[in-house]
Amino acid sequence: MGVSIAEYFGQRTDISSTVIQPVTANSRVKKCPFMDKNCAKISKRLKPVCSVRKHNGDIWIVCRDRLCSTNKTIPLIGYQKNMLLGIAKEVFSSEVEKENIFIKREVRIPVVGSSNYNADYVMSIQKYKGELRGPKNVVLEMQGGGETSNTGSITRHIDVWEALKNKTNSFLSQDVNAGTIETNAWRRQQEQFIIKGNIASQTGGGIVFCVGSPAKSINEGR
């Protein structure tokens, strides 16, 4: 059992209303649909696969920018703002609105003996008089960007698809001999929880992990 490509450059492969076309370093349009910047994978001459579908139908994100990019050098786009608002409603209160949410991206966290830890986001609620579920300040970690095994099989499959005269989404979404490496993602989270969570609690805040949902469809996962 393997995986199939679920999203290619932000485009779902399980629909046929629009036929997906290859996107390469020479393409005119290279801006990631999930952030206001060119696709990081294309910039590295990699295949712009956002997520894959496992044999049981679950979606697994394989791009660090797919869930909610933390790059602080570019402005937030509507997709990111809506994602952060949805998280805030889950964490703080369903009544909070965009004007109540204040965030900073890639915030340095001081750790004794180390200077390599950054918070993906620091999110706080201000100018809100309603009741909150917990602290009004949290470290928000985005776990979006898992790994795959036998990634070369995915690359070779896309090479074949790119060379086809009559390209179809169904061909692009065929199963390939690759798998997901999920244990590495959980190991990274454990370290972040211990170190960043400890710092957050010492300052009276909390820590939240946002993980791409193993949904049965792309819309659910968003």
pTM: 0.86
CA 90 to each of CA 93, 131, 210: distance values in angstroms, whole numbers, following the listed order:
6, 13, 11
Q: Is the pLDDT assigned to residue 214 strictly greater than 50?
A: no
Quick one: 153 and 54 in the same domain?
yes
Both structure tokens of 172: 């692009």
The Cα 76–Cα 121 span in angstroms is 12
Quick one: 156 and 46 in the same domain?
yes
Q: Is the pLDDT assigned to residue 114 strictly greater than 80?
A: no
Measured distance between the N- and C-terminal CA atoms of the chain, rounded to whole angstroms? 25
Contact 6, 55 (CB under 8 A): no
Q: What is the pLDDT of residues 1-29, one digit of tens each?
A: 699 999 999 999 999 889 999 999 888 88
Across the chain, what does the average pLDDT equal?
89
Position 113 confidence tier, pLDDT thresholds 50, 70, 90: low
Q: Note down the domain range covering 50.
A: 1-64+148-179
| Structural domain contains residue 51 | yes
Q: What is the pLDDT of residues 32-74, one digit of tens each?
A: 999 999 999 999 999 999 999 998 888 999 999 999 999 999 9
Which residues are paired to 28 by β-bridges? none
Quick one: 90 and 78 in the same domain?
yes
Quick one: 22 and 125 in the same domain?
no
The Cα 61–Cα 6 span in angstroms is 9
Both structure tokens of 196: 């960043």
The Cα 147–Cα 64 span in angstroms is 10
| Structural domain contains residue 222 | no
Q: What is the pLDDT of residues 158-191, one digit of tens each?
A: 999 999 999 999 999 999 999 998 887 777 777 7
Mean pLDDT in residue range 77-102: 96
